[in-house]
Structure 1
């Protein structure tokens, strides 16, 4: 995995708190969290700890009823791709896959074919199918294709393997790993599964009761 520590972070949260607008209750506290170019991070913590809220803070798009204080710095014209928990949530249920990929990303057929091939899908075979005709693993790979077709510098994935069986999980992680490597995109994945972090060789971001802490990287842990 190539990382460029001398480059400025793609996104940097400093002294950030996410609070409810009405009651000013603190939902998330982030003392200092930089996301470097071409890096990989696994956001881990129990259900309800604030993992999804942290992903929202990184994108700068928060749910209704909350607001963010502190500093969020991002590189200019930062493109962010997003992979949801269920691939079906990324697509229109009635529109053929190829038409959706063109409509959403504006990519031409050659580019779509290239990215689909990278995730192990064939445009000619699947392009005319609708989402209901695909398996869960295939839909998740379509969602990954949508995220990467826009040539993002950062891809954020929210529990992308939790709805998959073991084999589909491993295939999805392999696809995420290969695409992030070949495109140079940074990758931040929220998960409760330690194997996700291990397979992606990702740095740990711990979230517990709304408190965010950056764990050691792999080399430091091994020392």
Structure 2
């Protein structure tokens, strides 16, 4: 397992996103599927969301992105200061265009230069120039997940969401992805990770919240921390 260290948040941390008195429910249901009284996300923090299967973790991510199933009824106040929100799925291939070579699609999706793309791919361990010409189907699961991390790191999104990003990986690959998430995603960006794995939470979290049956069990208000210059 990698060393468990918490990345401190910047002194100038600002609120990027908030939910206030928000619910998602099925029409006519007696109780919501998800109920969030208050949640704030600030720049620079690593927020880890835990809870058993069916507790509402993925629903919470959909509430943050503003994209939930059409049959669900939403209420509440959702405030976002983010023009873009990045997303790292469980399977890296799901973040990538299946037919477009990796290097070209990362340049097209992010507007970054070929040099920036090559340097970021190298930073996530994809430094073989031949990988730039490969399509996602030609990558291993671990390579595709690294490419998805690179895509998020290259994006201009100040808020990155990751939905069980290590669930399909073996322990060694998981630890590598955790290192990458904590180092390649810049310290100014907020990273929100959903996971069942306690090691993921221990490694990444500067703050944790837990969901149970669609409700928050912990106080979700962030505590600002002073960080030495």
Normalised TM-score (structure 2): 0.86
Give the aligned partner of residue 199 of structure 1: 203
Identify the structure with bigger relative contact order (alpha carbons < 8 Å, sequence gap 6+): 2
Q: Distance in 2 between matches of 1:15 and 1:213?
A: 15
Unaligned runs of 5+ in 1: none
Provide, for residues 23-70 of structure 1, a one-character-per-residue CA deviation record: whole Å limited to 9, x for no partner: 575110001111111001111011111100001111222222113211
Over 3 Å counting, the alpha-carbon distance change for 1:42 and 1:159 in structure 2 is same
Specify whether residues 203 and 183 from structure 1 end up closer, same or farther in structure 2 by C-alpha distance, changes over 3 A only: closer
Whether the aligned pair in 1 keeps the contact of 2:96 and 2:148 (CA below 8 Å) is yes
1:95 Cα deviation after fit: 2.2
Q: CA deviation at 1:73?
A: 1.2
Rounded to whole Å, the distance in 1 between the matches of 2:151 and 2:88 is 8
What 5-or-longer segments of structure 2 have no aligned partner?
1-6, 225-229
Task: Show the 5 A alignment for 1:129-168.
Answer: 129-168=134-173
Between 133-142 and 186-195, report the one with greater CA deviation: 133-142
> Secondary structure of the residue that 1:174 maps to in structure 2?
helix
Q: Which structure is higher in helix share?
A: 1
Q: Superposition pairs for residues 1-223 of structure 1, below 5 Å? A: 1-4=7-10, 7-21=13-27, 23=29, 25-75=31-81, 77-122=82-127, 124-180=129-185, 182-214=186-218
Count of residue pairs the alignment pairs up: 218
Shift of 1:150: 1.4
Q: Give the secondary structure class of the aligned counterpart of 1:184.
A: coil
Q: CA deviation at 1:178?
A: 0.4
Q: What is the distance in 1 between the residues matched to 2:218 and 2:41?
A: 10
Normalized against structure 1, the TM-score is what?
Answer: 0.89
Hey, what's the Cα distance between the residues in 2 that align with 1:188 and 1:177? 11
